[in-house]
Structure 1
Amino acid sequence: MNQLRVFSLIIFVFCMTAGFAQSSKKIVQKGISVVKTSEMRIDDGDKEYWIDEIEYYDNRGNLIEYKEYSDKGDDLKKWIKYKYDTNSNLIEEIELNEKGEQKERIVTIYKDDLKIERHYYDDRDRLYKKKKYEYEFRS
C-alpha cells in the first residue's frame, strides 16, 4: 500500500511540475501568489462554481503548496507542501492529511545542481526507502 501511495505521489508531482497552468517566469512577472481553479459541473446540475484546486507560489515562481478538493469542494483530497533551495531545486515534498499531519515526506539531495538521492519518510518520519541517481556524461 505504501509503495502504491509513493508511486502515485511521484506521478502526481511529475504531472504537477510538467503541467502548471502558468510558467514560473509568468508567475513572477505578474506577481501571482495564489491560483485558484474553480469548477462547475453543468451536467450534474451545478449552478455555482466550487473550488477544485489551490496553488500557492513563492516570489521566485516556485509552487510551495498545492491543495486539491473533491467534487463540490467539500473534502480535501490532496495537500502537498514543497521546499526549494536557493537554486530553486525542489528539496522537500510533504504530503499532508486533511488535519495537516504528515502522511509522507520526500527529501531530495543535490550535488552540483544534479539530483543524486531521494529519501522517503513515512507518516511517523521514519526513513523507509532511498533512491540513488547516477549520471553518465558525453565526452
Structure 2
Amino acid sequence: HPFIRTFLGFDILPLVEFQPETDIALEEAQDLIEQEPHARKSQNSDGWHESTRGGAEVMSLSEGPMPGDEAGTDLFVQKMLDAASYFVPGEPYQPVKIDRETLADLRPEEVYVADFRKYSPLLPVRFFRSMIPE
C-alpha cells in the first residue's frame, strides 16, 4: 500500500485507501458511510459488563476480544487483510474493495473523501480510512 503524505511536513498519514465495489453507486456509498454503525450501537464491544450483586456494583470482563482489540470484529481490517493476501509484487496498486456491509460498519469520523471532480471531472473520488482511532 503506498504511503499517503501530508504536504505540510511530508509526514506519513495513517490512512488506507479503499473503494466501494463496482456495483455500489457513489451516492449510496456516501449514505452508507454517513450512517452510524449498527453493530457498535447494539452491543458494547469492549467486553466489560456492569451488574449489581448483593448491593454492590460489579464490573466483569467477558471472554471476548480485549479492549482496543477490534480487529476480530472490524470488517474493514478483515477486508484489508484479504486484499493483502491477493497482492502480487510488480502488479499495479489496487485500493481495498469493500462491500455494503463494510461501508455501513465504518464510523463516519474515520472516513475521508477526496472529491476533486469540481476541478476536473476526470479525477476519481478517493476514499480513505484513518487507522488510528480518535
Greater RCO structure (CA 8 Å; 6+ sep)? 2
Q: Higher strand share goes to which structure?
A: 1
Q: TM-score, normalised by structure 1?
A: 0.25
Larger Rg: 2
TM-score, normalised with respect to structure 2: 0.26
